[in-house]
């Protein structure tokens, strides 16, 4: 029973961490999509290739780390929500310097209005590349373990 | 098993590898997020806090005893624009619009536009120094109006002066109205593409004005 509870707690913790990671990537991409000239790296317009690459890499890594399809889907959804939160916080950053140009209540709407295509893109990329990451974990990464010298297994808990 | 002086070497379990990659990627993403938010905040700070105060004078040369310009006279507008930049961004002078009106004593009243110089700073013979971060920068300008430079405006100015002098005995003391609009470019921020959203088009330009714009 304790083992089961421990596993559940680990799942919750992993899902929260990976959702946060996906949210960080998506939030950055949403901000980059809205303000490509003010982002780092800056450019005259948002590079779709860069945004796709970043989202794909993050989703693949999260899928690889997750290891379970059901949890992977949950973290994809949570990642989109947290992505909105991260982008909103980034858009509120001028307040830290005492500059308030737009009311705090309006910023989430502003973010959704201009960042919606990127939020949608992030959700789709999370689903597709999260699954790719899961597949990579199952069919490539974990097989590597079987190729290790047998003596290695004795060192594992 | 690989032996080391301190004992058997522990290998990284493959299922842990993605977590190390996630940790590394998180550090990179955090750096990008903080740098981007910082860049945004600093540019917003420049937009919100930068300001300038002009000091100016009108100097008449070649006038009669009442202060009315002679045919070979001229009026010079000396202008000094002191920009204060309480932000971490460096600002470059880009373009200036100056409008100076003189009070019109004719029955129609109002003001008459005497000076209307509009120019790109790149066309100046010597480039002004940029306004440093957390600092100030000053741009000095002189404009002269004479019969040679703009006969129509010059003659109208003379007519206004003459009307005032005829009524009051002197052409001095006629009120002026000055309006200045300067555009400063925020260094390090690229120009957006032409089809960029309207909210994005002037992000790398701080536009400041002073005075009352009475139109053209």
Instruction: Write out chain A residues lying below 8 Å of B193, CB-based.
Output: 44-45
Buried b (16+ CB within 10 A) or exposed e, B121-152: beeeeeebebbeeeeebebebebebbbeebee
Claim: this prediction has a pTM higher than 0.90:
no
Residues B33 and B85 in one domain: no
**Each residue's pLDDT tens digit, B13-52:** 778 889 999 999 999 999 999 999 999 999 999 999 999 9
Q: A15 contacts in B (CB within 8 Å)?
A: none
Whether A155 contacts chain B with CB within 8 A:
yes
Q: What pLDDT band is residue B1 in, cutting at 50, 70 and 90?
A: very low
* Of residues A67 and B150, more confidently modeled: B150
Q: What mean pLDDT do residues A105-130 have?
A: 91
Q: Which domain holds residue B89?
A: 51-211
The predicted pLDDT at position B172 comes to 85
Q: What is the mean pLDDT of residues B107-118?
A: 82
Residues of chain A neighbouring B191 (CB-CB closer than 8 A)? 37, 44
| B117 and B73 within one domain | yes
Rounded to whole angstroms, the Cα distance separating B29 from B186 reads 25
User: By percentage, how much of chain A surpasses pLDDT 70?
Assistant: 90
Residues contacting B161, CB < 8 A, separation 6+: B67, B68, B69, B171, B174
- Stretch B81-86: mean pLDDT, rounded? 95
B190 within a domain of the structure (yes/no): yes
pLDDT higher for B80 or A2? Answer: B80
pLDDT in tens, A128-151: 999 999 999 888 887 765 555 556
Contact by Cβ (8 Å): A94, B41: yes
Give residue-wise pLDDT tens across range B145-185: 999 999 999 999 999 999 889 888 888 888 999 999 999 99
How large is the average pLDDT for residues B64-68? 91
Whether B95 and B191 map to the same domain: the answer is yes
Tell me whether residues A141 and B21 touch, CB distance under 8 A: no
- A-B contacts at Cβ under 8 angstroms: 132
Contact criterion met (CB below 8 Å) for B83 and B116? no
* Same structural domain, B167 and B186: yes
| CA-based nearest residue in chain A for residue B202 | A37
- Together in a domain, B106 and B125: yes
Confidence band for A154, pLDDT divided at 50, 70 and 90: low
CA distance A24 to chain B (A): 7
Q: Which residues of A touch B8 (CB under 8 A)?
A: 155
DSSP structure class, residue B162: H
Say yes or no: B127 and B35 in one domain. no
Q: Specify the length of chain A in residues.
A: 157
> Cβ neighbours of residue A132 under 8 Å, at least 6 residues apart?
A59, A60, A63
What is d(CA A24, CA A44) in angstroms, rounded to the nearest whole number? Answer: 23
pLDDT reported for residue A150: 59
* B-chain residues near A27 (CB < 8 A): 33
User: Is residue B216 a part of any domain in this protein?
Assistant: no
pLDDT at A7: 85
Strands, sheet with B69-85, edge to edge from the N-terminal-most edge strand: B51-63, B69-85, B135-146
Q: Domain check: are B33 and B66 in the same one?
A: no
Residues 6+ apart with CB under 8 A from A144: B14
Q: Number of structural domains, chain B?
A: 2
Same structural domain for residues B21 and B122? no
- Comparing A12 with B12, the larger pLDDT belongs to A12
- Residue B46 belongs to some domain of the structure: no
Q: Do the Cβ atoms of B36 and A21 come within 8 Å? A: no
Average pLDDT, chain A: 88
- Do residue B35 and residue B59 come from a single domain? no
Whether the CB-CB separation of B99 and B182 falls below 8 Å is answered with no
Chain A, residues 96-135, CB within 8 A of chain B, namely 96-97, 99, 101, 114, 133
| CATH number (domain holding residue B108) | 2.60.40
pLDDT at A157: 45
Nearest Cβ partner for B45 among A25, A94, A145: A94
| A38 and B CB contact within 8 Å | yes
- For residues B29 and B60, state if they share a domain: no
How far is the C-alpha of A72 from the C-alpha of B114, rounded, in Å? 71
Inter-chain CB proximity A42 and B196 less than 8 Å? no
* CA-to-CA dists, residue B26 to A24, A25, A58, A137, B160, angstroms: 8, 8, 9, 19, 71
Q: Are residues B11 and B84 in the same domain?
A: no
Claim to verify: residue B200 and residue B155 sit in the same structural domain: yes
| pLDDT value of residue A1 | 59
pLDDT in tens, B90-103: 999 999 999 999 98
Q: Which residues pair with B96 in a beta bridge?
A: B119, B182
Cβ–Cβ gap A21/B22 under 8 Å: yes
In a domain, B150, yes or no: yes
């Amino acid at each position: 029973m304790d083992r089961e509870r421990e596993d559940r707690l680990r799942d919750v913790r992993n899902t929260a961490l990976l959702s946060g990671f996906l949210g960080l990537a998506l939030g950055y991409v949403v901000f980059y999509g809205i303000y490509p000239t003010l982002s780092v790296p800056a450019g005259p317009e948002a590079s779709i290739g860069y945004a796709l690459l970043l989202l794909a890499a993050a989703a693949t890594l999260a899928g690889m780390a997750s290891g379970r399809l059901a949890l992977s889907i949950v973290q994809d959804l949570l990642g989109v929500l947290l992505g909105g939160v991260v982008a909103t916080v980034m858009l509120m950053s001028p307040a830290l310097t005492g500059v308030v140009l737009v009311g705090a209540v309006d910023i989430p709407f502003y973010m959704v209005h201009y960042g919606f295509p990127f939020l949608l893109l992030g959700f789709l990329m999370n689903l597709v590349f999260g699954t790719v990451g899961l597949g990579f974990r199952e069919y490539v990464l974990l097989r590597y373990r079987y190729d290790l010298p047998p003596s290695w297994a004795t060192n594992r808990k | 098993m690989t032996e080391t002086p301190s004992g058997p070497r522990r290998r990284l379990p493959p299922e842990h590898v993605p977590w190390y990659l996630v940790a590394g990627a998180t550090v990179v993403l955090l750096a990008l997020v903080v740098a981007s938010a910082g860049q945004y905040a600093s540019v917003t700070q420049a937009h919100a806090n930068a300001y300038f105060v002009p000091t100016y004078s009108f100097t008449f040369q070649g006038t009669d005893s009442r202060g009315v310009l002679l045919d070979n006279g001229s009026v010079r507008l000396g202008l000094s624009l002191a920009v204060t930049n309480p932000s971490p961004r460096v600002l470059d002078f880009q373009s200036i619009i100056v409008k100076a009106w003189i009070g019109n004593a004719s029955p129609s009243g109002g003001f008459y536009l005497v000076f209307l110089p509009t120019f790109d700073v790149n066309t100046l013979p010597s480039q002004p120094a940029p306004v440093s971060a957390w600092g100030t920068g000053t741009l000095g300008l002189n404009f002269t109006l004479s019969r040679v430079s703009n006969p129509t405006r010059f003659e109208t100015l003379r007519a206004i002066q003459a009307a005032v002098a005829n009524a009051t005995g002197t052409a001095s003391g006629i009120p002026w109205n000055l309006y200045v609009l300067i555009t400063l470019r925020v260094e390090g921020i690229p120009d957006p593409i032409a089809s960029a959203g309207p909210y994005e088009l002037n992000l790398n330009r701080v536009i400041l004005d002073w005075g009352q714009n009475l139109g053209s």
